[in-house]
């Protein structure tokens, strides 16, 4: 198996989600290469709806694969400002490009500094071992 990728410029959660700062208090969220690898072939993704207000830890969607169904959890508090509509027709983007075209949704954070409290790449990698 090839080495799984974990970009250093992202923040991570213990639920295997990544968070990318998009500026102006907005973050983009998806699942890590570890998560997509563990799930196997993704066949369906359910995301929150634009306008939804999420609290950190809320279940806000699902990722279904040929192996199982896993919940998505909001890593931070905020309002959903965008969802990746491409995933409806091509959920396999989560497997082929988890940090790019396979992103899930974007949040306008209630606290713009909250993302700094998430795991950095080294802490996330350490949590996997």
Residue 5 domain flag: no
Which residues form the domain of 33?
A: 11-124
Residue range 1-22, pLDDT digits in tens: 246 889 999 999 999 999 999 9
Residue range 15-67, pLDDT digits in tens: 999 999 999 999 999 999 999 999 999 999 999 999 999 999 999 999 999 99
Q: Can you give the pTM of this predicted structure?
A: 0.94
Residue 31 domain flag: yes
CATH number at residue 42: 2.40.50.100
The residue-averaged pLDDT of 68-85 equals 97
Q: How many Å apart are CA 53 and CA 70, to the nearest integer?
A: 21
């Amino acid at each position: 198996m090839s080495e799984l990728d974990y970009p250093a410029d992202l923040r991570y959660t213990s639920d295997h989600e990544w968070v990318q700062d998009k500026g102006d208090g907005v973050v983009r969220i998806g699942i890590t290469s570890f998560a997509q690898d563990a799930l196997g072939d993704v066949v369906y993704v359910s995301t929150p709806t634009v306008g939804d207000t999420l609290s950190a830890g809320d279940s806000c969607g699902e990722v279904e694969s040929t192996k199982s169904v896993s919940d998505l959890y909001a890593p931070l508090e905020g309002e959903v400002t965008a969802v990746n509509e491409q995933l409806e027709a091509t959920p396999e983007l989560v497997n082929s490009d988890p940090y790019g075209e396979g992103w899930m949704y974007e949040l306008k954070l209630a606290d713009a500094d909250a993302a700094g409290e998430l795991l950095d790449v080294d802490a996330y990698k350490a949590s996997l071992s």
